[in-house]
Amino acid sequence: MTAIIELDRVSIAFQKEVIYDQLSFSVNDGEFLCILGPSGCGKSTLLRVIGDLLGVDTGSVTVAGFPAAQAWQEIAYVFQSPRLLPWRDAEANVILGQQLRFGRERGADEMRQKARALLDLVGLGRDTHKYPAMMSGGERQRVSIARALAVDPRIVLMDEPFSALDVTTRRRMRSEIIEIWKKTGKTIVFVTHEVDEALELADRVVVLSVKPTRVLETVSLSMPRPRNLASPEMNAARMRLTRLLGVPEQAEE
């Protein structure tokens, strides 16, 4: 397994508050890695560090063999809210992501084709001309996933992308993201604070502590997907993750 992302003894403090104190972990090429940790421990900040939106005080961040500052083109984001432009339809929103990344390097026809192919992949092949106001929350988030994939990143960083969706849509989106991951072979770094979400999705789960944040443990989940969350192995893994987090067992609301 080759590492595509490596954080080596990363420390960051904001004002005088230490967020990370020598945090190290790596992400393997092509893996689905979940980052699980309590609120405020620095999960979103971690994605900003990987995407070079934020520099580190000490330590190093390597992405695809380069310092993070030289590797931003390998990376795309999916945020908790889809951040679509309301006056652009689905296709035009996916094209916009490409325009911002490629400028004139990618022709208009190619961008449109790419947008259509990816909207098709996320299940919106018939809705390419819908505007955000006409879409459900799940559909909007699918557009933002298509937009992220359209810039051909090797790595997709996802920050609690389904947490604003209702339970049923969230479940469906989780199985869909697994299908998309299998089809595209991308490396996905997925932030969540829900144990069951990590259990359903991850190859490995990096469990973070409260601040000053360090890796409590990295838990590998080798069970085949789709996973039965009620199985004895899953229950054991759930218990382990829940104990590490030190919170009462979560029931999905």
Ligand X SMILES: Nc1ncnc2c1ncn2[C@@H]1O[C@H](COP(=O)(O)OP(=O)(O)OP(=O)(O)O)[C@@H](O)[C@H]1O
Q: Which parts of 166-205 interact with ligand X (CB under 6 A)?
A: 193
H and E: helices and strands count for the chain: 7, 10
Stretch that binds ligand X, among 39-47, 108-116, 139-147, 149-157 (CB under 6 A): 39-47
Q: Does the protein bind ligand X through residue 19 (CB under 6 A)? A: yes
Q: Which residues pair with 36 in a beta bridge?
A: 192, 207
What would the two tokens of residue 102 be? 């490629």
Q: Does the protein bind ligand X through residue 81 (CB under 6 A)? A: no
Q: Does the protein bind Mg ion through residue 45 (CB under 5 A)? A: no
**Contacts for 218 with CB less than 8 Å, ≥ 6 apart:** 25, 204, 205, 206, 207
Stretch that binds ligand X, among 21-29, 34-42, 82-90, 126-134 (CB under 6 A): 34-42
Q: Does the protein bind Mg ion through residue 44 (CB under 5 A)? A: yes
Q: Does the protein bind ligand X through residue 138 (CB under 6 A)? A: no
Instruction: Give the whole-angstrom CA distance, residue 168 versus residue 207.
Output: 26
DSSP element (H, E) containing 157 = strand 155-159
Q: Does the protein bind Mg ion through residue 81 (CB under 5 A)? A: no
Q: 126: buried, middle or exposed (CB in 10 Å: 19+, 13-18, 0-12)?
A: exposed
Number of residues near ligand X (by CB under 6 A)? 11
Instruction: Give the whole-angstrom CA distance, residue 145 versus residue 149.
Output: 6
What would the two tokens of residue 42 be? 């620095």
45 binds, among Mg ion, ligand X, none (CB under 5 to 8 A by kind): ligand X
Q: Does the protein bind ligand X through residue 14 (CB under 6 A)? A: yes
Stretch that binds ligand X, among 32-40, 108-116, 143-151, 168-176 (CB under 6 A): 32-40
Among 39, 168, 220, 222, binds ligand X (CB under 6 A): 39
Stretch that binds Mg ion, among 35-43, 123-131, 135-143, 215-223 (CB under 5 A): 35-43
Q: 230: buried, middle or exposed (CB in 10 Å: 19+, 13-18, 0-12)?
A: exposed
19 binds, among Mg ion, ligand X, none (CB under 5 to 8 A by kind): ligand X
Nearer Cβ to ligand X (4/191): 191
Torsion over CA: 67, 147, 197, 188 (sign):
negative
Q: In degrees, to the nearest 5, what angle opens at C-alpha 34 toward C-alphas 29 and 38?
A: 145
Q: Does the protein bind ligand X through residue 51 (CB under 6 A)? A: no
Among 24, 28, 44, 81, binds ligand X (CB under 6 A): 44
Which residue lies nearest Mg ion, judged by its C-beta? 44
Q: Does the protein bind Mg ion through residue 163 (CB under 5 A)? A: no
Q: Nearest approach, Cβ of 127 to ligand X (angstroms)? A: 30
Looking up tokens 């390419």, which residue turns up? 128
Q: Which residues pair with 61 in a beta bridge?
A: 7
Which residues here bind Mg ion, judged by CB under 5 A? 43-44
Which residues here bind ligand X, judged by CB under 6 A? 14, 19, 37, 39-45, 193
